[in-house]
Chain A
Amino acid sequence: MQANEQDIIRGCIDGDRVSQKKLYDHFAAKMLGACMRYAKDRAEAEDMLQEGFIKVFQNISRFKNEGSFEGWVRRIMVFTAINYFKHRARHFQENLDMEDYDAPFQANIVEKISAKEILVFVQQMPEGYRLIFNLYAIEGYTHREISEQLGIAIGTSKSQYSRARQWMQQVLAKHFHILNEPFEEPK
């Protein structure tokens, strides 16, 4: 850990407002980007960010210098997002209606779509899909770890991720194909 970051953390432990503001300014943008993937809109993401940072400052004295500090902050944001999911009493649905649109994943298509567009699609994903999609594909948790965190079966985690992935592929493909179809004026 850099010496400057250590000084800021020490200041935050002592309750120094300037150090806390520095810490917030340094990590807020990146953490809000992470919260945006878990939330369904900007407002909810801001709420997650707010709650996450309150927990960061209240528990910063427990940071043991094991691993990166950014990783520790990110884990708190992830747990905050999980708590949001739990408190809204969401559950995982298995029998969603999905069109039989056979759209295999095409990397060259996805690479042409910008990050912010993909973010919008992620936010529109069903909540259960979105949570497990983020935990598995972005955060790198295994299905076993996800099942332990959420109290679900491993198979549920795998199936939810599979559906999330299919959902994303179909949306991306449709989005790209719609964009590339020649525009026909309505008759």
Chain B
Amino acid sequence: MEIKPSDAHWEKLAQNLPPDNFEKIMLDKLENIRLDPYPETWTNIEQHLPLPRPVNKKYLYYSLLFFMLSVGVIAVYFMNTQKEINKIPPFENKENIVNKDQVKTILKSNENGRSGSSTSKVKNNEILKGQKMLAFNQGDHQKHIIPTVPLEKVLVNKKEEKTETLTVDDHIKLSNAVAEIDQAPLLSSKTENLKENKIENISAGDLIPIPAITSEKNKNSINNSLVISVEPLAQKTAEKKEDENKSMITIPKKDSLAILDNLPSVSERVNVSNYSSDKPSFFSFTSFAGTTLSFSRYVAPQNSYGSFDKNIALRKELETPVPDLSAGFILNYDVSKRFSISSGLVLTNFRQEFRYDTVAPQSQLNTVQQDAKYIHQQDSITNAKVQTADIKYSFTEIPVYVTYKAFHSRKFEIDIQGGFSYAFISGINAYIINQNNVGVMVLNGPDDFPKIKGTAFITLQPMFAYKMSDDVSIGIMPTYKSSLGSIIQNQYWVQQYPYFIGLHVFLRKKF
């Protein structure tokens, strides 16, 4: 029964309430009380929660299959485009004058302006006319080792179910209050391990045991306190949450309370055996493979003899980017929630197709370098793309990247990775049109004229990943990489600045 007091009653009450900070003190005392719950409370809660959905591993297997197929296709393409080696040693410049008796005139009648005759020096292994030529000695070329993903570590997902108890340092231990509060009669029949006590009616005037005062000066004081007024405590009866009819008060449903009334249905029980590790992961390992297209930016030397402008123009016309393999692995360390630093090893191939043809020399043979190796030394190089050769530089990079985690959701991640690397030359098989476009220099090593050196690169690559699990992601990574310096060591020669665009697939594992 509800008795509504009159406004006058409240006014009288309000007058008796002196202004004070009662509420503030109560708030300060009671707001932040912390108490560790019984261990079985979580167990009881867990029983009412639906079991977690099992991890669908088929996406993991399909993704791994896709990754392996991609690597396999790239590897097969790379191997199939390796040409057979016809060991045609380059003409090493020992003398400028060619003995006429050793020259065999080859007549040309091509409509594309090839007129006259070529006076190339012919040796036992004939110059192959109209076929692709490779003065490429594969034995001298270093093989690239592409690191493989340790599949056994990826497929066998060793996840252990762990229960972890977090220690909260800022919890105020009220062990005494807990012990004291435990002395109060226990009413619940739900918690199995709790003791059941009888509840006696307590009327005003009775003594209720109050826990011992812990302050030093009050240790010897009496423990009981006079009860001012106590509402009779009804005996506890078995409660049934479904029995709404026992409520004596009809409470109108409010929107703020209705949110609690609609409970989602419990999903079907499914056996789940594994949980992901919940320890924080700072390290991750990324392996990637893909293809790159290689380009070069040429800059004429500032101090040189003669002009290189026509040489640069012809090279741009005759050199065409060809896709080649690029792969590597990166170890990442999370320095914060958003940033991580990375390093590792990257193998990048610079590859171009060099298509050309030769005609009778258009200029004097006065630009031959003493320490260079040549083919077609006596011929002018033209843009009639009849003959083909491969230009290849292999770089081994040691990168230092910074990764920014731009977007992370439950299933998808977008990271922006960029940084610098230093690239060492690990293999060379190159052709460079000589100055004045007469003859082609052959490079098989870094010391061959005009000498090749390593350089620094700058790289930018966004990473689009799909999270197959908490620890494993796969994704694609478009890459732009540009050299910061020339790979040509000779400052009197055309400087070459390679740059790449590529697309890679990667697999990332956190640990």
Contact = CB atoms under 8 A, between A and B. Distances in A.
A187 interface: no
B92 interface: no
Contacts of A91: 1-2, 248-249
B260 A55 contact: yes
Interface residues of B, number: 104
Given A46-B188, A183-B222, A119 B48 contact: no
* Closest A-B pairs by Cβ, 9 of them: A116-B177, A33-B33, A89-B248, A43-B188, A29-B34, A126-B231, A15-B52, A25-B166, A94-B3
A59 B29 CA distance: 31
Contact of A179 (B53, B181, B218, B276): B218
B44 A50 contact: yes
Given A44-B187, A97-B229, A59 B49 contact: no
A1 interface: no
Interface residues of A, number: 101
A26 B167 CA distance: 9
A25 B165 contact: yes
B180 A122 contact: no
Most chain A CB inside 10 Å of its own CB: which residue of B34, B50, B211: B34
A151 interface: yes
A113 to B, nearest CB: 8
Contacts of B256: 79, 149
Nearest to A8: B278
Interface in A44-68: 44-47, 49-50, 53-55, 57-59, 62
Given A101-B228, A155-B4, A159-B9, A59 B221 contact: no
Given A3-B337, A97-B204, A107 B20 contact: yes
Nearest to B177: A116
A86 B180 contact: no
Given A28-B37, A107-B22, A116-B181, 9 more contacts: A41-B186, A46-B38, A58-B264, A94-B3, A101-B228, A119-B33, A150-B251, A162-B10, A179-B213
Interface of B: 1-7, 9-10, 13-14, 17-18, 20-23, 25-27, 29-38, 41-42, 44-46, 48-53, 162-166, 168, 171, 174, 176-178, 180-182, 184-188, 190-191, 194, 204, 208, 210-211, 213-215, 218, 220-222, 225-231, 233, 239, 241, 246-252, 254, 256-257, 259-260, 263-264, 267, 275-276, 278, 337, 410
A156 B36 CA distance: 35
A170 to B, nearest CB: 6
Contacts of A82: 257
Interface in A4-32: 4, 10, 14-18, 20-22, 24-26, 28-30, 32
A96 B48 CA distance: 40
B276 A18 contact: yes
Interface of A: 3-4, 10, 14-18, 20-22, 24-26, 28-30, 32-34, 36-37, 40-47, 49-50, 53-55, 57-59, 62, 76, 79-80, 82-83, 86-87, 89-99, 101, 104-105, 107, 110-112, 114-120, 122-124, 126-127, 136-138, 148-153, 155-156, 158-159, 162, 165, 167-171, 174-175, 178-179, 183
A29 B25 CA distance: 21
A162 B17 contact: yes
A9 to B, nearest CB: 11
Contacts of A148: 254
